[in-house]
Amino acid sequence: CRIENCDSCFSRDFCTKCKTGFYSHRGRCFRGCPPGFAALEELMECVEGCEVGQWSEWGTCSRNNKTCGFKWGLETRTRQIVKKPVKDTIPCPT
């Protein structure tokens, strides 16, 4: 096996089990998981976290369920969850 920090390989370029303290991600071994991925401690693997879509446009200003002017109100916007995380590894943002 030519992969650093690998304990067991499927082939010269694909690790199946990393050495202690390293996480497996796409056949490689890392000290930590790349951005957007979370460490699944029981398997020592990096799994995909939550993925959210784009923000919607801002809503109209409202206060007490009535449309208001440009101040003293609340504007909101939303985004949808595109992909839920595996076992709530990386929680989705509110």
pLDDT along the chain (94 residues), means of 10: 87 91 93 85 83 87 77 84 73 76
CATH 2.10.220.10 residue ranges in the chain?
Answer: 1-49
**How far apart (Å, rounded) are the C-alpha atoms in residues 3 and 73?**
57
Under CATH, which number does the domain 1-49 receive?
Answer: 2.10.220.10
What is the per-residue pLDDT for 36? 77
What is the per-residue pLDDT for 20? 92
Assess contact for 5 and 18: CB atoms under 8 A: yes
What is the per-residue pLDDT for 75? 84
**What does the CA dihedral 71, 94, 66, 64 come to, rounded to 10 degrees?**
-90
Please state the pTM of the whole predicted model: 0.57
